[in-house]
Amino acid sequence: MQWSHPTRWGLAVLAAASLTAFTTPASAELKPGDKLDKSNCQEAKGMLPDYVMEKFCDGKYAAEIIEVKDEAYQYSKKFKAGSESNAGKYYVTDEGYMYETASKTWPHFWYGFPFPDRVGISPRNSYKGDPFYNVDVRLQRAFPFTEHIKGEASVEVFNLLNRPNVEDVDHVYGLADFAGPVPKEFGDHITSPANPGFGSPKFASDARQLQLSFRITF
């Protein structure tokens, strides 16, 4: 009687590709002269606070889209200086409350923009982050030693392509208004005269990793 050692091979490949954006570009469908109401409210996603957009989608709000020139909003030098000095002074909790960074208490007064990384009249969700691509691979083989004792060896590779996926960048511009070209997305190499590190990576996902394992079941 001949006893054979059957083996089983398994290969699992997990791939993920997503666009990681600190902000999502505003819709290009809306233009001056259009009317925003419940029929097209989704076009304003990313340009309005969620609770305001809900009013449009519920039919409670309607408005005409108009063009606003940059020169219509000119802040005083004192206001701009106050905004610039607020950099890093405040933070927002997970519950949505703004606190002073130093005292961890609610500020009774502030002058200028509390978060000067929101530059001038730039819309919400206007800076696009780095795309995120990841491929994980798992190779597995079973070894039947006896009828009741079996072994299982596996090799796993995470981030197979060793892609440097940037997960966050320095998005503090440091000025109340843009001073030069307007940054649009990660990698456009546009910095800020007040913060040369603007647009540079703060951290990235792990590099390629290899994991070996062996399991015995009985």
Give pLDDT tens digits for 145-200. Answer: 888 899 999 999 999 999 999 988 887 776 767 888 888 888 898 888 877 888 88
C-alpha–C-alpha distance, residues 15 and 29, integer Å: 32
Please report the pLDDT score of residue 27 as a whole number. Answer: 44
Q: What is the pTM of this model?
A: 0.45
Label residue 214 by pLDDT band (50, 70, 90).
Answer: very high
pLDDT at 9 exceeding the cut of 50? no
Q: For 58-91, write each residue's pLDDT tens digit.
A: 988 888 888 766 555 566 778 878 877 887 788 7
Label residue 18 by pLDDT band (50, 70, 90).
Answer: very low
Sign of CA dihedral 101, 103, 104, 107: negative
Q: For 102-143, write each residue's pLDDT tens digit.
A: 888 888 888 887 776 567 667 667 788 888 889 999 999 998
